[in-house]
Chains A and B, each alone.
Chain A
C-alpha cells in the first residue's frame, strides 16, 4: 500500500478520484457542516475544474525524468505485458464503449432545455425613454438622495415594495417570494453581495423601469418575468423603492468614480 502511494501513476489516479469527489460532493456538502450555504457544482464548472486538475497532473508526472518514466511503466505494461492480456482486452472493449456511450449521451434527444447563460447584469444603454421622457443613465445619481429625507423616501419605497415586489422578491428581500419558485430565471436575491452592491442606482433604475422585456440579448435565453414597472410606477416611486432596497439590505450602491473598473463577471 505504501509503495502504491509513492508510485506516480497511482498518485495520479488517487488525485483524480479525490478531486472529483471533492468537487462533486465536497463543495456541496462540506460547507453546510460549517453553517455555510452551498449547492452542487454545475456540470460545466465541474468539467472545467477536472480539466485543470488533469493538466496539472500531467505537469506533475512529467516535470521530472524519473517520475515520468515510472508513471509510464504501468501504462506500458498494460499495453505490451503478455501477462496482462486479459486486462488489455477488457480495456480494448471498454474504452470504445465508453466513448460511444458518451457520444450517445450527448446527442440523444432530451426534454432538457439547452444550457444557457444569462448575463445577470448586462451592459445598460446610455439613455432610456421613461414614459416619453429621455433619461440619461450615465453618471445619473438617485435624485432623492440630494433632497428630501431618506427616512421618508424609505417609507414610500417600503410601501411600494410591499405592494408590488414582495410576491417574487420576498419578505426578507432574498428573492424567495411566494411566486419565485415558478420563475426561471429566479428573482434576484438582494441580500447577495453579488447583486445590488455591485451596481449603481441608475442601473437598478433601468432594470426596474424596463423589467424583463427591456433586457438586451445577453440577458436571454430566458426572459425574466419582471414587469416593466415604468407603466405602473412613477419615477419617484422607483427611486424610493431603490432607496428602500439599499437601506433595508444595508448595502451601499456602487458610485460612479469607481465604476471605472471592470464590472464583476
Chain B
C-alpha cells in the first residue's frame, strides 16, 4: 500500500480547489502543485514574470506540437513561435534537467523538418532532450523517419523509460497502430513492454509518462483518445503518484483518476477548437485575431520536489 492511500479524504477537496482555479484561468501562468498525483493550484502570476520552480526540486520543461513545416494562415511562423518558447526556457531561473517534446515535432514527417527541429533544439540550454512521436511524425513510414533523428532513448523503438531524480520516466508511442475508424492504440507489444518495465519499479516511486495522444478519451469522434489506454492505466494504478503528460489537442486540459493525473499541453504551432466545439465539425487549425495567438501557445514547467513526491506544473503562454 502506498502512503497516498491514507490521504483519500483530502483528494476531493484538492480536486475541487484545482477545478475551481481552472475555471478562473484566464491565460496567465498557473502554478499547479501535484501531491500524490492530484493537482492543486497554488497561485497565478499576474505580473507577467515567469514562476520559479520550488527549491530543491527536479525541474523539466514540456513543449509540444511544434509542427515544423506548417506555414499556413493559423501560424505562418512556427519557427518563430518555437524560438520564443526557447527564449523562455533559457530565461528560467532554474535550468531544467531536460526538455521533453510530446510529439508532432514535424508537420509532414519530412526529413528536412526533423532535421530543422533537431538543429533548433540545440539552441535550448539543456543537457538532454527527450521526445515521443506524434501522428504527424509517423505519416509515410511509421516512426522510422522520426527515429532517424530522435532515437535518443528507445534504441530503435519509439518507447523507453529512464530514472532521474528519483522519478521513473516513461515515453510511449501511441501513434503507430492507426486503424480505420478507431482511435490510435499503444498495441500489444508496447503494453507487454510496459508491464515488464513497471515490474521493476517500487510502488512508491513517482511515475511520469509522456505520450502524444491523450491517454483518456476526450472526444472520440475526433480521435482524441487512445483506444487501449485503459490497459496501460490499469498497470499504472498501483503506483502512488502517476502523472501523464500528453499533447495532440493543442490546449491545456486535465483529468484525475485516483492517484493518476493526466494533463494535455498547449501547442507551439496553432490552436485547435475545444472538444466538440459548436461550429467546428472537425479539429482543424484555428486562425485567431491578430495578437491572440501568443496567448494560446505556450510551454509547461514541471517540478518534482524530492522527499515530498510533489509535482508542480506551471503553464506559461508565449505572451506573458
A and B bound? no
